[in-house]
Amino acid sequence: MLSETKQLLDLQQADVRLLDLIVHLDRLADHRCQLEDRIAQERANVASLRDALQRSDLESRARNLEVDELDMHIRAYQDRLDKGIISFKEMEDLRVKIVSEKVRIGRLEDEALDLMATVEAARAHLAQAQSDLVPREEHLQAQVAAAMRETRETEEGSLAQLRNERVALASAMAPYLLAQYEALRATLSNPVAAVQHGTCGGCKIRVSANTAERVRAGREIVTCEHCSRILFVL
Ligand SMILES: [Zn+2]
């Protein structure tokens, strides 16, 4: 094999490994985004439970206030009735009013009790969710930290090393050959391909006998007449 072909193959191998690493880093970044979304979602769930509790609590207080106010009114009506300084007609009206308001306060009291039970249930639900959130968030944050650590180690370690290797390989090559390789690489992931059984390993099309023979002879850089890939024999 021509030494130039060997250089091209080494460069191609470095590029394949670089691409693999970049894909790996992209996956790590996606994974980290998903974890951060999950943390935000878990926090939002707790926040919505907190809001629900606040709403129930306000409603419950309002209903209790309504009960207290109605109770005061009923007492005032009763007081006027007991003092008896009003007409018989007014007394009758007050008695009717007191009966209907007592029915209403009974209903309001039931509602107030239901609301208080709802508040207590919401408070317990929130407390549980808050205590569940702590270990869950710790677990997710640990995974985020691990993804960040792996990203940093990959970038500073194998990625930096591979980039240096590629620079060394590229600078050792003849500029025209490097340019030819880079031009092919702009559209092809494997600019260098093996000829096997007379067929280009890149485009899978049969090369001419002359091309196959020139590749076998290994005296010059030969390209596929169909896809322009640089050819070699194993
Ligand atoms: Zn080809």
CA of 171 to the centre of ligand 1 (A): 26
State mean pLDDT over 203-222.
96
CA of 20 to the centre of ligand 1 (A): 24
Residues 204, 156 share a domain: no
Residues 137, 65 share a domain: yes
Residues 47, 129 share a domain: yes
For tokens 């926040």, what's the residue? 47
Structural domain includes residue 204: yes
For residue 38, pLDDT over 90 is answered with: yes
**Residue 34, both tokens:** 């998903």
CA of 190 to the centre of ligand 1 (A): 11
Structural domain includes residue 86: yes
Structural domain includes residue 20: yes
* pLDDT-based confidence at residue 86 (cuts at 50, 70, 90): confident
CA of 175 to the centre of ligand 1 (A): 23
Residue 49 sits in a domain of what CATH number? 1.10.287.1490
- DSSP string computed for 4-61: HHHHHHHHHHHHHHHHHHHHHHHHHHHHHHHHHHHHHHHHHHHHHHHHHHHHHHHHHH
CA of 192 to the centre of ligand 1 (A): 9
Q: What is the pTM of this model?
A: 0.77
In angstroms, what CA-CA distances link 214 with 92, 169, 199? 122, 25, 14
* pLDDT-based confidence at residue 85 (cuts at 50, 70, 90): confident
How many Å apart are CA 191 and CA 163, to the nearest integer? 19
Q: Which of 84-93, 102-111, 117-126, 128-137 shows the lowest mean pLDDT across its residues?
A: 84-93
Structural domain includes residue 1: no
* pLDDT-based confidence at residue 234 (cuts at 50, 70, 90): confident
How many domains are there within the chain? 2
CA of 169 to the centre of ligand 1 (A): 24
- What is the β-pairing status of strands 192-196 and 199-200? antiparallel
CA of 218 to the centre of ligand 1 (A): 17
Structural domain includes residue 4: no
CA of 213 to the centre of ligand 1 (A): 15
* pLDDT-based confidence at residue 57 (cuts at 50, 70, 90): very high
* pLDDT-based confidence at residue 2 (cuts at 50, 70, 90): confident
Residues 131, 45 share a domain: yes
Structural domain includes residue 185: yes
- Beta-bridged to residue 206, according to DSSP, are 199
Mean pLDDT, the chain, integer: 96
Question: Order of strands, edge to edge, in the sheet holding 230-232?
Answer: 199-200, 192-196, 230-232
Residue 56: give the domain boundaries: 10-172
Residues 191, 155 share a domain: no
Q: Tens digit of pLDDT for each residue in 101-123?
A: 999 999 999 999 999 999 999 99
Amino acid at 137: E
Q: At CA 163, angle to CA 142 and CA 9, rounded to 5? A: 125
How many Å apart are CA 204 and CA 200, to the nearest integer? 5
Q: Which residues contact 137 (CB under 8 A, 6 or more apart)?
A: 39, 42, 43
Structural domain includes residue 79: yes
- Beta-bridged to residue 193, according to DSSP, are 231
Residues 93, 202 share a domain: no
Q: Tens digit of pLDDT for each residue in 139-197?
A: 999 999 999 999 999 999 999 999 999 999 999 999 999 999 999 999 999 999 999 99
Residues 192, 165 share a domain: no
Please give the pLDDT value at position 1: 79
For residue 208, the SS3 value is coil
Share of the chain above pLDDT 70, in %: 100
How many Å apart are CA 128 and CA 117, to the nearest integer? 17
User: How many CB atoms lie under 10 A from the CB of residue 133?
Assistant: 15
Residues 206, 98 share a domain: no
How many Å apart are CA 109 and CA 92, to the nearest integer? 26
